[in-house]
Amino acid sequence: MEYKILQHERRGSTLMVTINRPESLNALNTAFFDEMDHFIANDAMDPGITAVIITGAGKAFVAGADIAEMVNKTQEEAEAFSLRGQNTFRGFSTIPVPVIAAINGFALGGGLELALACDFRVASASARFGQPEVSLGLIPGYAGTQRLPRLIGMGDALFMLTTGEMLSAADALRIGLVQKVTEPEQLIEEVLRIAGVIALKGPDAVKLVKFVARQGYQVSLAQGSQLEAQSFGQLFGKQGTEGMKAFLEKRKPQW
């Protein structure tokens, strides 16, 4: 598939994806979802990849869904558009390696929902965050009402969802919406550094810990704990054994 919106490049074993519609502040449209679905099913499944970074071109990460495309939709079409976006973002959980949002600017509406679907988030100090859908008489459509409370708690989530107010990067860090804030010019360098740290770890362990954490979050503690034990055992006689031997022998593991 020839991408027109997504630009991607390898940085070692890290795959960096840039959403490139700066003239519309990278607003999400049907073409974006088509390309992202293809990216998830193909490029992101490369076994040589150890992390995926998603960022935006220009002054926005993603400033929301494309209102010009949505405005004339019927109720049935709007529901289908919501489900389409939810399905695409749900696909991030199927990417075996960590997916990191490098939030370079505005992450609003569907853009924040995209960031929420990633495994974790690093932000520029100039980034701004919000779910302003109520200002348009709407609610989030790409699972923002579900992921946001799970991530930051119901009180902070409902504050954001009902007021539509933007948060600074500092406030986003304070409430756990992002995991780290950097100076704007250092954002990509820092996220690549984090991806590089992940690349040095046991690759099967990184993939399994993402799978177990995400799956376990959707089931009971007992079920999740059982899944953890099974997965823990899988690594013995494989990379886990090599990692422990390397530790005892004071050498670098040979993954």
Q: Which residues pair with 241 in a beta bridge?
A: none
Q: Is 165 a catalytic residue?
A: no
Q: Do residues 1 and 43 lie in contact, with contact meaning Cβ atoms separated by under 8 Å? A: no
Token pair listed for 194: 């984090």
Task: Please provide residue 41's backbone torsions phi and psi, each rounded to the nearest 5 degrees.
Answer: -75, -15
C-alpha count within 13 angstroms, C-beta hemisphere, residue 79: 3
DSSP 6: E
Longest dimension (CA), the chain: 66
Q: Which helix (H) or strand (E) holds 122?
A: strand 120-124
Q: Is 69 a catalytic residue?
A: no
Give the integer Cα–Cα distance in Å for 38 and 138. Answer: 29
Treating both helix axes as pointing N-terminal to C-terminal, what angle do 221-234 and 203-216 enclose, rounded to 10 degrees? 170
Token pair listed for 12: 């070692």
The one catalytic residue in 76, 133, 190, 242 is: 133
The one catalytic residue in 2, 23, 76, 113 is: 113
Q: Do residues 66 and 27 lie in contact, with contact meaning Cβ atoms separated by under 8 Å? A: yes
Pairing of strands 180-182, 120-124: parallel
Token pair listed for 184: 């704007």
Helix/strand/coil for 222: helix
Which residues are catalytically annotated? 113, 133
